[in-house]
Amino acid sequence: MTDKITGLKFEDVLIESLPYIRDFSESIMVIKVGGNAMMGPEAAANLMDEIVQDIVLLHFVGIKTIVVHGGGPEINEKMEKMGKTPKFIGGLRVTDDDTLEIATMVLVGNINTKMVSLINKYGGKGVGLNGVDANLIQAKKKRTQKIVVDGNEEDVDIGWVGETEIINPKLLRIMIENGYIPVISPVAAEKKGHMLNINADTVAGDVAAALGAKKLIMMTDISGVLRDVKDKTSRISKIEISEIDKMIDDEIITGGMIPKIRGAEVAVRSGVEGVHIINGSTPHSLLLELFTDIGVGTMIYKKEEGEEE
C-alpha cells in the first residue's frame, strides 16, 4: 500500500520514521492547530479527529506535546449567526467588546473542550487551559498596531487584543512531565483583569520559546509559504530567518501569514530548532512533516555560524 502524499510505501514510511522518532523522543513540541486547518475548504468532516489522533500518537512515541489552538473561522461563523460582521485590518482581527465575548465563548467553551475530549477519547490525558489559568500568560493590551494598509504603514487600534509579556511555563512543565497534554486557548487578562484576545500564532511561538521546545508546528489551511499563492506547487520548503523581512517587503509573505512567520521568528531566535508551517487539511500532515525525509510544509530555521546553505 502506498501513501498518496509522499508516494512511499507504508512500510518504507515506518522504517524512514525510526531515526526521527529516536531523535524526538523526550523532546518538547508545541502544536498550533489553526481554525482554518480544521474548517478550511479542503477540511474533511472528521479532520479534528485525525489531527488529535496524530497528536496523541506523538505523545505515545515519547514526545512531550503541548497544543495551542485558534478558532478564527468558528468565531466568524458564530458572529455572523448573531448578526455581527467580523472586521480585519492587515490580517488581524479587530476585537470590540461583543467580539471579545464571542471569541472567549467559542475558544474556551467550545473548541478547547472539544479538543480535550478527543484527546481523552484516543487514550491521551488532555487538560484544557487558557492564559488566565495559574497566570499562565501575562499580557497587556496592544495600544496600537503597525499594519500595512494599501501599501502604507499605519498605527491602528485593533481593540481588546493583547500581546504576551511573560509566559509562566512551570504549570506546563509539571503537566508534560506527568504525562498530560495541555491544550491552550489564546485568551488572557491584563493586570486590571480585562480579558484579551491574543493571536494564537504569537502565543504558540512564545510558549515554544519559553519551554525551549525542539519544534513548533503550525497547522493551517495552506501547505506552508507559497512563492505564488495561485500555484500550490510553488511551496518554499525552507526559509532562513534573515530572509523574512525581504519576503514580507516583496509580498511573498502577506496578510495572515505575517503573524505566523513573526511568531516562528521569535521562537527560532529563542532557541527552537525549527518551526514548520503545514496544511492541516492534508491527512496526517503532522506525521509526514516530522517523520519523513520529504516533508510537506515550510520550515523556518536559523543558520548556525559557519553553516552552509
Positions at the binding site: 71-72, 93, 197
User: In whole angstroms, what is the distance from residue 115 CA to residue 129 CA?
Assistant: 11
Nearest Cα to 218, choosing from 262, 159, 168? 262
Secondary structure letter of residue 9 according to DSSP: B
Residue numbering of the annotated binding site for substrate? 71-72, 93, 197
Pairing of strands 274-279, 298-301: antiparallel
Contacts of residue 57, defined as CB under 8 A and 6 or more positions apart, other chains included, come to 287
Residue 122 Cα to chain centre, angstroms: 21
DSSP state for residue 256 in the 8-state scheme: T
What nine digits make up the cell of 22?
A: 529516536
Q: Is residue 178 within 8 Å of residue 125, measured between CB atoms?
A: no
3-state secondary structure 30-59: EEEECHHHHHCCCCCCCHHHHHHHHHHHHH
| β 28-33/215-220 pair status | parallel
Which among 138, 28, 65 is positioned nearest to 51, based on CA atoms?
A: 65
Separation CA 105–CA 170 (nearest Å): 26
